[in-house]
Amino acid sequence: MKIYTKTGDKGQTSLIGARTDKDAPRVEAYGTIDEVNSFIGKAMTELAPETYADLLEDLEAIQNELFDCGGDLADVRKEPNFKMTEEPVEVLEKRIDELMEEPPLLERFILPGGSPAAATLHIARTITRRAERQTVTLMKSGEEFPLVVQRYLNRLSDYLFAASRVVNSRAGVPDNEYVRSAKVFKGGGRGKKSAE
């Protein structure tokens, strides 16, 4: 089986139910989701199963859910077969709450980094934010897609922040605080990056 088809040589690609330009906003969005998925895969190779079994289970589920998000964005048929539901959003919220109880309290913003896996998760977090911005652009342009995808990406970026802190905590690597940050987490917060 050949993996190249040559059908995209003129700058177009296939959606589910149509063809479009490769730089179309919809393609940009699901392409960015693919980037997120790739960095999550990289992070998983950097996590020891004996220490991070729960996170590896989370991340494997997330990889499948990201495929679902990408597929839903690519489905432009009149009667699409969307896969994403609210349940994965609720699962992420539960896991964020659980994970945020584990690392030390923070008073200031932190810089991306620490252990290799934590740094990779921070990369995935920032790309997730880009993917979310692109889905918002789609919404504003009137493009139709399941809005749960945007909510999922919003929650996922917070999950990846929490997971990166847990990875550093279990590895015995302190988070690197942004030295010019004011004390933004009043009373010693768990370091939730944002409430967006």
Q: Could you tell me which residues come within 8 angstroms of residue 84 by beta carbon, excluding any fewer than 6 positions away?
A: 65, 68, 69, 72, 146, 148, 149, 152
Those residues of the chain that have pLDDT short of 70 are 4, 7-10, 21, 185-196
- Establish if 192 belongs to a structural domain: no
Residue 173's nearest CA partner among 49, 59, 46, 53 is 46
- Please state the pTM of the whole predicted model: 0.89
Looking at residue 162, its pLDDT comes to 97
Residues 44, 46, 50, 55, CA torsion sign: negative
Spatial neighbors of 160 by CB under 8 A, at least 6 apart, are 121, 122, 124, 125, 128
Residue with tokens 């979310």: 132
Q: pLDDT tens-digit profile of 111-143?
A: 999 999 999 999 999 999 999 999 999 999 988
Predicted pLDDT of residue 85: 97
Three-state DSSP state, 188: coil
How far lies 154's CA from each of 85, 133, 173, in Å? 14, 9, 27
Sign of the alpha-carbon dihedral angle for 177, 178, 183, 185: negative
Which pLDDT score is estimated for 33? 98
Domain of residue 127, CATH code: 1.20.1200.10
User: Is the Cα dihedral 39, 176, 102, 52 positive or negative?
Assistant: positive
Confidence at residue 25, expressed as pLDDT on a 0 to 100 scale: 86
Alpha helices in 15-105 (DSSP H): 25-45, 49-74, 87-99
Total number of domains constituting the chain = 1
Residue 189's pLDDT is 52
- In this structure, is residue 181 part of a structural domain? no
Query: Which pLDDT score is estimated for 144?
Result: 86
Structural domain harbouring 103: 19-171
